[in-house]
Amino acid sequence: MLPTGTDAPDFSVNDHNGNTVNLKDYRGKKVVLWFYPKADTPGCTVEGQGFRDNFKSFEEKNVQIFGVSLDNEADNKAFAEKFSFPYPLLCDVNREIALGYHAVKSVEEQYAARISYVIGEDGKILESIESVDTKTHSQGLCSRL
């Protein structure tokens, strides 16, 4: 995990709708990156629904939510639409984000680790979360921010 206080690695990848997302464009907002292993699997669905259900509260706190997986745009789009996720799912097919944030150890890995980061308005890591309970993660994180 990246230690708190370090600069968050910048990235530029497509989301599930084909839009390019650059981390640097979100300076001035807190950003939550929640990494998940595979679109439309039970644990990832529960975790994603938590962020969906708390989305308005995160918005009110000026927090941008990004789900991140190694899935392609089609798989993430189907996942987002099936469960009405109101936030972008980043399609890290080249493992750029996952490698930078230690969600994978190599480009050969098929699934990202279930970890999360909170990035501050200044682009520095505020919180690194290695142990995630899919049922309570979003609510607990929202209440801390």
What amino acid positions are annotated as catalytic residues?
44
Of 39, 27, 110, 109, the C-alpha closest to 68 is 39
Q: Which two tokens stand for residue 3?
A: 């230690």
List CB contacts of 30: < 8 A, sequence separation 6 or more. Answer: 61, 62, 63, 64, 118, 119, 120, 121, 126, 145
Specify whether the backbone of 64 is left (phi greater than 0), alpha (psi in -120 to 50) or beta.
beta
Of 139, 141, 135, the C-alpha closest to 47 is 135
Strand partners, 128: 117
List CB contacts of 88: < 8 A, sequence separation 6 or more. Answer: 15, 16, 17, 19, 21, 66, 67
